[in-house]
Amino acid sequence: MRILLIEDDPHIGDGIAAGLKKLGMAADWFSDGLQGRDAAALAPYDAAVLDLGLPGMDGMEVLRAWRQSGLSFPVLILTARDALPDRLAGLNGGADDYLCKPFALEELAARLNALVRRSQGRSDSGLTFGRLKLDTAAQTATLGGEPLDLTAREWRLLEMLVSKPKHIVSRAQIEDRLYGWEQEVESNAVEVHIHNLRKKIGASVIQTKRGLGYCLGEAP
Ligand code: CA
Protein backbone atom coordinates (compact mmCIF):
# COMPACT_ATOMS: atom_id res chain seq x y z
CA MET A 1 0.00 0.00 0.00
CA ARG A 2 1.48 3.35 -0.99
CA ILE A 3 0.43 6.48 0.86
CA LEU A 4 0.94 10.12 -0.11
CA LEU A 5 1.52 12.12 3.07
CA ILE A 6 1.35 15.92 3.05
CA GLU A 7 2.11 17.45 6.45
CA ASP A 8 4.32 20.45 7.25
CA ASP A 9 4.87 19.75 10.96
CA PRO A 10 8.22 17.89 10.96
CA HIS A 11 7.49 15.88 14.10
CA ILE A 12 4.04 14.73 13.03
CA GLY A 13 5.18 14.09 9.46
CA ASP A 14 8.20 12.10 10.54
CA GLY A 15 6.17 10.12 13.07
CA ILE A 16 3.53 9.17 10.50
CA ALA A 17 6.03 8.34 7.74
CA ALA A 18 8.18 6.19 10.03
CA GLY A 19 5.17 4.52 11.66
CA LEU A 20 3.48 3.61 8.38
CA LYS A 21 6.73 2.19 7.02
CA LYS A 22 6.99 -0.02 10.08
CA LEU A 23 3.52 -1.34 9.24
CA GLY A 24 4.71 -2.24 5.75
CA MET A 25 3.13 0.71 3.93
CA ALA A 26 5.21 2.99 1.76
CA ALA A 27 4.75 6.66 2.64
CA ASP A 28 6.03 9.50 0.44
CA TRP A 29 6.13 12.60 2.60
CA PHE A 30 5.84 16.18 1.36
CA SER A 31 5.66 19.27 3.57
CA ASP A 32 4.69 21.73 0.85
CA GLY A 33 1.10 21.83 -0.44
CA LEU A 34 2.01 22.60 -4.03
CA GLN A 35 4.61 19.84 -4.26
CA GLY A 36 2.20 17.43 -2.62
CA ARG A 37 -0.57 18.30 -5.05
CA ASP A 38 1.70 17.58 -8.03
CA ALA A 39 3.12 14.40 -6.50
CA ALA A 40 -0.30 12.74 -6.61
CA ALA A 41 -0.06 12.30 -10.37
CA LEU A 42 3.42 10.79 -10.28
CA ALA A 43 2.87 7.48 -8.50
CA PRO A 44 0.02 4.97 -8.05
CA TYR A 45 -1.09 6.04 -4.58
CA ASP A 46 -3.69 4.00 -2.71
CA ALA A 47 -4.64 6.89 -0.42
CA ALA A 48 -3.50 10.30 0.81
CA VAL A 49 -3.13 11.78 4.30
CA LEU A 50 -3.56 15.53 3.97
CA ASP A 51 -2.94 18.28 6.52
CA LEU A 52 -5.01 21.45 5.98
CA GLY A 53 -2.70 24.28 7.06
CA LEU A 54 0.22 24.00 4.63
CA PRO A 55 2.83 26.28 3.06
CA GLY A 56 2.68 26.62 -0.72
CA MET A 57 -0.96 25.66 -1.07
CA ASP A 58 -3.73 25.16 1.48
CA GLY A 59 -4.84 21.56 2.02
CA MET A 60 -8.42 22.29 0.95
CA GLU A 61 -7.16 23.71 -2.35
CA VAL A 62 -4.96 20.66 -2.86
CA LEU A 63 -7.98 18.42 -2.34
CA ARG A 64 -10.12 20.48 -4.69
CA ALA A 65 -7.42 20.38 -7.38
CA TRP A 66 -7.16 16.58 -7.12
CA ARG A 67 -10.90 16.05 -7.37
CA GLN A 68 -11.21 18.49 -10.28
CA SER A 69 -8.49 16.64 -12.18
CA GLY A 70 -10.30 13.34 -11.64
CA LEU A 71 -8.01 11.80 -8.99
CA SER A 72 -10.34 9.65 -6.95
CA PHE A 73 -8.08 7.95 -4.41
CA PRO A 74 -9.34 8.14 -0.82
CA VAL A 75 -8.17 11.18 1.13
CA LEU A 76 -7.99 11.40 4.91
CA ILE A 77 -7.59 14.94 6.25
CA LEU A 78 -5.83 15.89 9.47
CA THR A 79 -7.47 18.68 11.43
CA ALA A 80 -6.88 20.53 14.68
CA ARG A 81 -9.01 19.29 17.56
CA ASP A 82 -12.58 20.62 17.57
CA ALA A 83 -12.17 22.40 14.25
CA LEU A 84 -15.70 21.49 13.12
CA PRO A 85 -15.79 23.96 10.19
CA ASP A 86 -12.57 22.40 8.87
CA ARG A 87 -13.94 18.88 9.11
CA LEU A 88 -17.18 19.81 7.37
CA ALA A 89 -15.38 21.73 4.63
CA GLY A 90 -13.05 18.79 4.12
CA LEU A 91 -15.81 16.22 3.87
CA ASN A 92 -17.87 18.47 1.61
CA GLY A 93 -14.79 19.10 -0.51
CA GLY A 94 -14.27 15.45 -1.33
CA ALA A 95 -12.35 14.04 1.66
CA ASP A 96 -13.30 10.51 2.69
CA ASP A 97 -12.41 10.64 6.37
CA TYR A 98 -10.70 12.87 8.91
CA LEU A 99 -8.67 12.56 12.09
CA CYS A 100 -8.22 15.21 14.79
CA LYS A 101 -4.70 15.85 16.06
CA PRO A 102 -3.33 14.37 18.20
CA PHE A 103 -4.18 10.82 17.15
CA ALA A 104 -2.74 7.36 17.60
CA LEU A 105 -0.82 5.98 14.65
CA GLU A 106 -2.70 2.68 14.95
CA GLU A 107 -5.97 4.52 14.37
CA LEU A 108 -4.59 6.27 11.30
CA ALA A 109 -3.37 2.95 9.89
CA ALA A 110 -6.70 1.23 10.61
CA ARG A 111 -8.64 4.01 8.89
CA LEU A 112 -6.35 3.98 5.87
CA ASN A 113 -6.80 0.24 5.56
CA ALA A 114 -10.58 0.66 5.72
CA LEU A 115 -10.57 3.49 3.15
CA VAL A 116 -8.44 1.54 0.69
CA ARG A 117 -10.55 -1.58 1.18
CA ARG A 118 -13.72 0.39 0.47
CA SER A 119 -12.21 2.12 -2.56
CA GLN A 120 -11.36 -1.31 -3.99
CA GLY A 121 -14.96 -2.38 -3.57
CA ARG A 122 -14.31 -4.82 -0.75
CA SER A 123 -16.74 -4.40 2.10
CA ASP A 124 -15.52 -7.06 4.46
CA SER A 125 -11.93 -7.35 5.57
CA GLY A 126 -11.23 -10.92 4.45
CA LEU A 127 -9.35 -12.24 1.43
CA THR A 128 -9.19 -15.95 0.67
CA PHE A 129 -7.12 -18.11 -1.66
CA GLY A 130 -7.59 -21.81 -1.01
CA ARG A 131 -6.68 -22.48 2.60
CA LEU A 132 -4.93 -19.12 2.77
CA LYS A 133 -6.93 -16.43 4.57
CA LEU A 134 -5.93 -12.79 4.99
CA ASP A 135 -7.57 -10.43 7.44
CA THR A 136 -6.86 -7.00 5.98
CA ALA A 137 -8.12 -5.13 9.04
CA ALA A 138 -5.93 -7.01 11.51
CA GLN A 139 -3.18 -7.52 8.88
CA THR A 140 -2.83 -11.16 9.77
CA ALA A 141 -2.87 -14.31 7.67
CA THR A 142 -3.58 -17.97 8.34
CA LEU A 143 -2.92 -21.10 6.33
CA GLY A 144 -5.36 -23.91 7.08
CA GLY A 145 -6.30 -22.08 10.24
CA GLU A 146 -2.69 -21.84 11.45
CA PRO A 147 -1.38 -18.29 11.93
CA LEU A 148 1.44 -17.33 9.54
CA ASP A 149 4.42 -15.43 10.86
CA LEU A 150 4.92 -12.81 8.15
CA THR A 151 6.96 -9.62 8.16
CA ALA A 152 5.07 -6.41 7.37
CA ARG A 153 6.43 -6.35 3.81
CA GLU A 154 5.72 -10.03 3.21
CA TRP A 155 2.17 -9.41 4.35
CA ARG A 156 1.71 -6.46 1.98
CA LEU A 157 3.15 -8.41 -0.90
CA LEU A 158 0.84 -11.35 -0.24
CA GLU A 159 -2.12 -8.96 0.00
CA MET A 160 -1.22 -7.45 -3.39
CA LEU A 161 -1.23 -10.89 -5.00
CA VAL A 162 -4.34 -12.30 -3.30
CA SER A 163 -6.43 -9.14 -3.82
CA LYS A 164 -5.97 -9.42 -7.61
CA PRO A 165 -5.91 -13.16 -8.21
CA LYS A 166 -5.82 -13.07 -12.02
CA HIS A 167 -3.30 -10.25 -12.37
CA ILE A 168 0.42 -10.37 -12.92
CA VAL A 169 2.18 -7.97 -10.58
CA SER A 170 5.50 -6.65 -11.85
CA ARG A 171 8.60 -6.23 -9.73
CA ALA A 172 8.41 -2.46 -10.29
CA GLN A 173 4.80 -2.39 -9.03
CA ILE A 174 5.81 -4.33 -5.94
CA GLU A 175 8.75 -2.01 -5.26
CA ASP A 176 6.42 0.97 -5.75
CA ARG A 177 3.99 -0.32 -3.15
CA LEU A 178 6.46 -1.59 -0.58
CA TYR A 179 9.01 1.20 -0.72
CA GLY A 180 8.67 4.94 -1.19
CA TRP A 181 10.99 7.17 -3.17
CA GLU A 182 13.19 7.89 -0.19
CA GLN A 183 14.18 4.30 0.44
CA GLU A 184 17.01 2.60 -1.40
CA VAL A 185 15.71 -0.71 -2.71
CA GLU A 186 18.24 -3.54 -2.98
CA SER A 187 18.08 -4.93 -6.51
CA ASN A 188 17.03 -8.38 -5.27
CA ALA A 189 14.72 -7.20 -2.44
CA VAL A 190 11.52 -8.41 -4.13
CA GLU A 191 13.03 -11.81 -4.98
CA VAL A 192 14.05 -12.22 -1.35
CA HIS A 193 10.51 -11.43 -0.12
CA ILE A 194 9.03 -13.86 -2.66
CA HIS A 195 11.52 -16.56 -1.66
CA ASN A 196 10.67 -16.14 2.03
CA LEU A 197 6.93 -16.08 1.33
CA ARG A 198 7.17 -19.31 -0.67
CA LYS A 199 8.91 -20.99 2.24
CA LYS A 200 6.00 -20.03 4.48
CA ILE A 201 2.99 -20.69 2.23
CA GLY A 202 4.28 -23.24 -0.29
CA ALA A 203 6.46 -22.88 -3.38
CA SER A 204 3.69 -23.35 -5.96
CA VAL A 205 1.34 -20.71 -4.52
CA ILE A 206 3.27 -17.87 -6.16
CA GLN A 207 4.22 -18.26 -9.82
CA THR A 208 7.05 -16.43 -11.51
CA LYS A 209 6.16 -15.12 -14.96
CA ARG A 210 9.57 -14.62 -16.47
CA GLY A 211 10.16 -11.04 -17.59
CA LEU A 212 6.72 -9.99 -16.38
CA GLY A 213 6.46 -10.49 -12.63
CA TYR A 214 4.49 -12.68 -10.26
CA CYS A 215 0.96 -14.01 -9.92
CA LEU A 216 -0.93 -16.53 -7.85
CA GLY A 217 -0.40 -20.16 -8.83
CA GLU A 218 -1.94 -23.20 -7.19
CA ALA A 219 -4.28 -22.61 -4.29
CA PRO A 220 -2.76 -24.06 -1.12
CA1 CA B 1 0.03 22.28 9.26
pLDDT in tens, 34-74: 999 999 998 889 999 999 999 999 999 999 999 999 898 99
| CA of residue 59 to ligand 1 center, whole Å | 9
Q: Which range marks the domain in which residue 176 is found? A: 126-216
Region 159-166: mean pLDDT is 87
**Single residue among 73, 102, 119 that ends a domain in this structure:** 119
Between the ranges 17-21, 91-95, 137-141, where is the mean pLDDT highest? 17-21
Give me the pLDDT at residue 182, please: 62
Rg of the chain over CA atoms, in angstroms? 18
Residue closest to 150 by CA, chosen among 26, 3, 23, 2: 23
Cβ neighbours for 71, distance < 8 A, ≥ 6 positions apart: 40, 41
Q: Are residues 98 and 143 in the same domain?
A: no
Give me the pLDDT at residue 163, please: 87
Q: Are residues 144 and 199 in the same domain?
A: yes
pLDDT in tens, 80-132: 766 778 878 888 888 999 998 889 999 999 999 989 988 877 666 788 899 99
Please state whether the predicted TM-score (pTM) of the whole model is above 0.95: no
| CA of residue 99 to ligand 1 center, whole Å | 13
More confident residue, 82 or 187: 187
| CA of residue 100 to ligand 1 center, whole Å | 12
Q: Are residues 101 and 141 in the same domain?
A: no
Q: Are residues 66 and 138 in the same domain?
A: no
| CA of residue 84 to ligand 1 center, whole Å | 16
Give me the pLDDT at residue 82, please: 65
| CA of residue 50 to ligand 1 center, whole Å | 9
